[in-house]
Amino acid sequence: MIRKAVIPAAGLGTRFLPATKALPKEMLPIIDTPTIQYVVQEAVDSGIEDILIISGKGKRAMEDHFDRNFELEARLEEKEDERWYNEVRRLADMANIHFVRQKEMNGLGDAIYYARFHTGNEPFAVLLGDTVINSVIPVTQQLIDIYEQYRGTVIAVEEVPHDKVSRYGVVGGRKLSDTLMELSTLVEKPAVDKAPSNLAIAGRYILTPQIYEAIEHTPPGKNKEIQLTDAFLYLLKRENIYSHTIEGKRYDIGNKLDFLKTNVEFALRRKEFAAPFAAFLKEIVRELEAREAGK
């Protein structure tokens, strides 16, 4: 049984400057909900209520978000705003959330290593703090189901266009089913003609405690950071690793353009915004087409 989740969220968020000078990237809202809240909710929806967030300097806003705010609660109660009073209280009660700081930005592998005392000698889930996945069955739950059957590390992957594999960590191996693969290799940002497949790592994992030994034996790689993909290569020589092609759509909030696209898609799913926002977008498109026609 997977009881604990780790959410690495210590990055500096330099692609979102100047907004992230004082605000963690993970707190940037998709409409009105911080990105990190979607990630925590996925863990909770997968049956996990013990969550460790790996944060960094200047990330205090995340702790405040999941903490009680008695003044705000009192004001909402006074206004008899039951909806938002309940929502604010829910945030503080949705899970047992702990925080530890990554003292230096030494890569994803190093960030996960900070969780070793919290997870101990048991498997755990990892959900990247800047990646949201929309799915009927939470992707973390999908991975847990596979772990319960195979008792090995499970990595979420998604199909990407072959000409874009150089942007991702890519896996290769022996197919066990349409969505499941037993891995034989992992390559970080391979050249298009060297990629073992078009299955890219999608920011969700179930890791065994042996990952910590693998990280200890992994030297710094690209950007002089300890890469989780390199640690998997060490682990692969000692235990089976599986990949699962996710059922759902991944939203990487790692750059401004993808962040804008994500907000548009999420807005079109919200009942209170869908119709007027769709009408607004259609008007924008008509104006752009008219402008192009007039050139």
Between 91 and 206, the more confident residue is 206
Give the type of residue at 213.
Answer: E
Tell me what pLDDT residue 77 has.
Answer: 87
For 33-79, what is each residue's pLDDT tens digit?
999 999 999 999 999 999 999 998 878 899 999 998 999 989 988 88
Tell me what pLDDT residue 8 has.
Answer: 94
For 135-191, what is each residue's pLDDT tens digit?
999 999 999 999 999 999 999 999 999 888 888 889 999 999 999 999 999 988 888
Token couple for 253: 């909030």
Tell me what pLDDT residue 211 has.
Answer: 96
Question: Which residues have C-beta within 8 Å of that of residue 215, sequence separation ≥ 6?
Answer: 109, 110, 112, 113, 226, 228, 231
Highest mean pLDDT among 7-16, 85-94, 116-125, 215-224: 116-125
Tell me what pLDDT residue 135 has.
Answer: 94
Tell me what pLDDT residue 194 has.
Answer: 87
For 74-97, what is each residue's pLDDT tens digit?
998 888 888 888 888 898 888 999
Q: Distance (Å, rounded) from C-alpha 283 to C-alpha 281? A: 5
Tell me what pLDDT residue 295 has.
Answer: 66
Ordered alpha helix ranges (H), 27-138: 35-45, 60-65, 70-78, 82-93, 108-113, 116-119
Q: Which residue has the tokens 């938002």?
A: 84
Does pLDDT of 292 surpass 70? yes
For residues 18-28, give the mean pLDDT: 89
Question: Which residues have C-beta within 8 Å of that of residue 62, sequence separation ≥ 6?
Answer: 9, 24, 26, 27, 34, 36, 53, 55, 99
Domain spans in the chain, listed from the N-terminal domain onward: 4-254, 255-295
Tell me what pLDDT residue 223 has.
Answer: 74
**CA dist list (Å): 21 to 12, 104, 192:** 8, 17, 35
Whether residue 251 contacts residue 35, with contact meaning beta carbons closer than 8 Å, is answered with no
CATH 3.20.20.140 fits 4-254, yes or no: no
- What radius of gyration do the chain's Cα atoms show? 20
For 216-250, what is each residue's pLDDT tens digit?
999 887 778 898 999 999 999 999 999 999 989 99
